[in-house]
Structures are given as structure tokens and as C-alpha cells.
Amino acid sequence: MFFEDKKLIGVKIKQYRKKRGYTQAYLSEKADISEKHLSKIETGVHYPSIAIFFKLREILDIPLDEFGIKINSSEENIVRDELLKYIFTLNDTETKFLLEFTKFTFENYRLKSK
């Protein structure tokens, strides 16, 4: 995960879960994760994967800025914003693939542009 503070993630998820009146059992079922895993996320023991993070965020309707993530919607950043929104929907395998593809592409591009 790209967040530095596991506690912040867990606190926000727990806070919004309680605000919505959801139990850990209900939320974990909706997110298709174990109750034990959700508990470890909420207590800051584990980071959620990016896919699980965004699934929980969507279920609980947590604004991204609650986690310090700002998506600027100004016209000059539309392409970057679109890319970020797409990246946030990827599962772990897809994220790893995209990272390796991006590294490869930039390394080759930089070599050719010198």
C-alpha cells in the first residue's frame, strides 16, 4: 500500500463503519474478506491491499481526501486523474504488472531518448 500510516487507514475505516451502523461481520462479508482480516486492518496491524482498500472505501463511501489523497479535477490534470482512478481499481496482480510494465517502459524510453 502507498499509505504511510496503517493506524490512520484503520481508524478511518472503523470510524465510517460505525457511522454507517455496520458490524465487522457485515462489512467483511460485503467486502469479501474475513472478519479477522478486517479487524487487523481496523487496528492497524495490516495494510489492506489496494483493491480491498478501494472496495472498503466504496462500501463505506469514504472520501479519498480523508486519507490525504487529493484528486485534482482541473482541466490540465484530467488525464492524470483518469489514470489514477483506473489504477485504484486494479487488483494486486494487475498493480504489480502495471508497475513492472511502467518501469520497463520508462527505462527503455530513457535509454532511447539520450
32-36, 88-92, 107-111: segment of lowest average pLDDT: 107-111
Domain range holding 32? 6-67
Structure confidence at residue 34 as a pLDDT band (50, 70, 90): very high
95/51 same-domain check? no
Count of other CB atoms within 10 angstroms of residue 105? 10
Segment 84-100 mean pLDDT: 83
15/31 same-domain check? yes
13/60 same-domain check? yes
58/81 same-domain check? no
How is residue 61 annotated by DSSP?
A: T
Domains in the chain, number: 2
Reply yes or no on whether the pLDDT at 74 is more than 80: no
Count of other CB atoms within 10 angstroms of residue 78? 11
